[in-house]
Amino acid sequence: MLSLPKRVKVLGVPVDCVDMARALDQVRDMASGNRAGCILAVNPEKVIAAQSEPVLRRALEGAALLIPDGIGVVWAVRLLWKEHIARVPGAELMPAICAASAVEGYRLFLFGASEEVNAQAVAELQREHPGIGIVGRHHGYVNEAGMAAVIDAINRSGANVLFVALGSPKQELWMERYLPQLPGVRVCQGVGGTFDVIAGRIRRAPLAVRRVNLEWFYRLLTQPQRALRQAAIPRFAWQVARAWLARPSQPAPGANGG
Ligand code: UDP
């Protein structure tokens, strides 16, 4: 079994110190049956939301892999823990898992988004990755009564990797509730709006913008309806600064600090 990455906490929420390569190693290990579970993305909005949503917090604490999805979280880990981690956006991890599907034998199921987006995302992935093992798909607009049929479809598909695109915190709550009914699923990643990106409905920030870590600002400009959620970013920054100022002081060199 692969060793687990170092796990640190940012304002009480755990984050794994991984880069993309290490995250993919963990996915391989989980899929092989060593350690099944959820992959959740940690970003400033989710850290702040977890403070008032105990169910989200519990889901984060119970996840098998917590990727540093937002640059704010990367900076906080570097500042508070001196760990030099890199960003692993969930919107990049999912396509990377898809790209590895043929070689690793991953059997993928895509659950979530509208029927049109879901079908389009599947078609796009099949076009991009010949040999990809997509064994099933279902849109994400399902009521309580319809969920048993979705669970049944996932179980019958033989999927061992499930992507759930219901937005946060809906997808985390869904996983907590339904994953115990999906014994064949070894890896379950919450991917938010990633199907919309793959289907070409939402554009990610241009590479140059991503490189200077301003993807969050691009999203604010292009999806102003998210402004309320992004109001969490300054709160997050303020709380991290306070945690940094309140950190225990380092003993001076040569001091008898124990
Ligand atoms: N969605 C869904 N069912 C629902 C609510 C939302 O399938 O009941 C989908 C929605 O169509 C979109 C995704 O969930 O594809 C939410 O994307 P968003 O960008 O809001 O997620 P985030 O990454 O911000 O959590």
Other beta carbons less than 10 A from residue 156's beta carbon: 11
Distance 91 CA to ligand 1 centre (A): 13
For the chain, strand residue ranges (E) read 7-10, 13-16, 37-42, 65-68, 108-112, 134-138, 161-165, 187-190
173 burial level (CB within 10 Å; 0-12, 13-18, 19+)? middle
CATH code for the domain of 23: 3.40.50
Q: Which residue of 93, 166, 223 sits with most ligand 1 atoms within 8 Å of its CB, as the best mutation to test the pocket?
A: 166
Confidence category of residue 192, pLDDT binned at 50, 70, 90: very high
- The set of protein residues with a Cβ atom below 6 angstroms from ligand 1 is 112-114, 117, 140-141, 165-168, 170, 192-193, 195-196
Helix (H) or strand (E) holding 194: helix 194-198
Distance 257 CA to ligand 1 centre (A): 50
Distance 194 CA to ligand 1 centre (A): 9
Give the range of the structural domain holding residue 33, as residue numbers without chain letter: 7-204
Which numbered atom of ligand 1 lies nearest the CA of 114? 11
pLDDT value at 99 more than 70? yes
| 180 in a structural domain | yes
Which numbered atom of ligand 1 lies nearest the CA of 223? 19
| pLDDT confidence of residue 34 | 74
pLDDT value at 224 more than 90? no
| 183 in a structural domain | yes
| pLDDT confidence of residue 61 | 95
pLDDT tens-place string over residues 128-160: 999 999 999 999 999 999 999 999 999 999 999
pTM: 0.91
pLDDT tens-place string over residues 26-78: 999 999 987 889 999 999 999 999 999 999 999 999 999 999 999 999 999 99
Which residues face 38 on adjacent strands? Answer: 188
**Structural domains of the chain, count:** 1
How confident is the model over 10-22, as a mean pLDDT? 96
| 143 in a structural domain | yes
| β pairing state of 13-16 and 7-10 | antiparallel
Which residues face 137 on adjacent strands? Answer: 110
